[in-house]
Amino acid sequence: MFPQGNQCYTYEDCKATADWLLTQTDVRPSVGIVCGSGLGGLAEMLKNQVAFNYKDIPNFPQSTVHGHAGRLVFGTLKGRSCVCMQGRFHLYEGYPIQKITLPMRIFKLLGVDTVILTNAAGGLNQDFKVGDIMIMKDHLNMPGFAGNNPLAGLNDDRFGVRFPCMSDAYDRELQQLAMDVGQELGFGDFLKEGVYCVLGGPSFETIAECRMLHKLGADAVGMSTVHEVIVARHCGMRVFALSLITNQAVMDYDSEEKANHEEVLQTGKQRAEQLEQLIFTMVARMEHNNNDA
Ligand SMILES: O=P(O)(O)O[C@@H]1C[C@H](O)[C@@H](CO)O1
Ligand code: HPA
């Protein structure tokens, strides 16, 4: 069933893309950032930018979703060299899961040791409000339960081991740093932590599905991030991830609410400034990652 799956991009393909990028810029990033829906403004904050449209990067997929610009931006943030994906790829765009996660392997080959991912998500936890920022402490991988895991297929040991551990996927020190920085910045009222559940999308969830996911222990539901986290951890990068609660998942048959992408992008705009501030302050304070997984 899977033998060709991971052949989608070989180690050599990933290396060719990374080497191409390294010939185009002097920036040698240690931090890689992925911007979620409506959160691409993060990339604009990088200083001394060198930016590439995805269509100009060998082997790179194209962004097809409104709110995902499709640019890879290199630059510095508080003096630290970074690379930022202004737009990510999703299963529902029709890409194979290995293609969605290809940028993580390119990050690794560029020298990135820490990946920061953001996403827009629906809130399942009844204590969450629209505009809350949730530090991801864990995930539920629904496509993975059905066998759609980005590491399925032949394993290339140059990236990582056949059976990587995921109980330590989300770096605990970075979670604590985010909490500390959030408190200092006065974000305590809307900074939460929780479990993110990924689904395939693009349809939003039914009421019964939201109720089920909540019962299973999910605090937020979305359509991304987890595949990238798995590949980033497989190749030994440290991971930190944030969900912006852009809408309340509909859990009640009396509700008139309807999830929609416009609301997702609108909430992104309203909270973007604080989310950016949180990430920049964290990047300024982060220690380098010395212990590859
Ligand atoms: O890329 P993310 O996970 O932030 O995007 C979410 C999931 C869908 O792509 C979209 C739904 O509005 O936002
Ligand atoms: O409610 C949601 N469900 C799934 N994905 C999402 N992305 C933003 N909001 C949602």
Return the pLDDT at 2.
43
Cα–Cα distance measured from residue 235 to residue 142, given in angstroms and rounded to the nearest whole number: 22
Closest atom of ligand 1 to 261 CA is 12
Averaged over 120-129, what is the pLDDT? 98
CA 99 to chain centre: 14
Q: Please name the residue whose Cα sits nearest to atom 1 of ligand 1.
A: 36
Angle at 95 between CA 260 and CA 169, to 5 degrees: 80
Report which bound ligand comes closest to the CA of 199. Answer: 2
Q: What ipTM goes with this model?
A: 0.99
Residue 37 labelled as part of a binding site: yes
Closest atom of ligand 2 to 264 CA is 8
Residue written as tokens 């040991």?
157
Which residue would you say has higher pLDDT here, 160 or 79? 160
**Confidence band (pLDDT; 50, 70, 90) for 7?**
low
Return the pLDDT at 96.
96
The class of domain 5-285 in CATH terms is alpha beta
Peptide bond connecting 103 to the previous residue in cis, omega within 30 degrees of 0: no
Distance of CA 246 from the midpoint of ligand 1 (Å) = 10
Position 48 pLDDT exceeds 50: yes
Ligand 1 pocket member 261 (CB < 6 A): yes
Ligand 1 pocket member 90 (CB < 6 A): yes
Report which bound ligand comes closest to the CA of 88. Answer: 1
Residue 247 labelled as part of a binding site: yes
Position 183 pLDDT exceeds 60: yes
Q: Is the separation of the CB atoms in 191 and 182 below 8 Å? A: yes
Q: What is the pLDDT of residues 216-227, one digit of tens each?
A: 999 999 999 999
Q: Please name the residue whose Cα sits nearest to atom 12 of ligand 1.
A: 261
**Confidence band (pLDDT; 50, 70, 90) for 293?**
very low
Distance of CA 198 from the midpoint of ligand 2 (Å) = 9
As beta bridge partners, residue 220 has 123, 196
Task: Give me the chain's average pLDDT, please.
Answer: 94
Ligand 2 pocket member 122 (CB < 6 A): yes
DSSP strands (E only) in the chain: 31-34, 47-53, 71-77, 80-86, 114-123, 133-141, 191-198, 220-222, 238-248
Residue 88 labelled as part of a binding site: yes
Residue written as tokens 């399925």?
152
Alpha-carbon distances, residue 56 vs 10, 51, 72, 98, 148 (angstroms): 20, 10, 10, 20, 29
| Structural domain spans, the chain | 5-285
DSSP strands (E only) in 142-283: 191-198, 220-222, 238-248
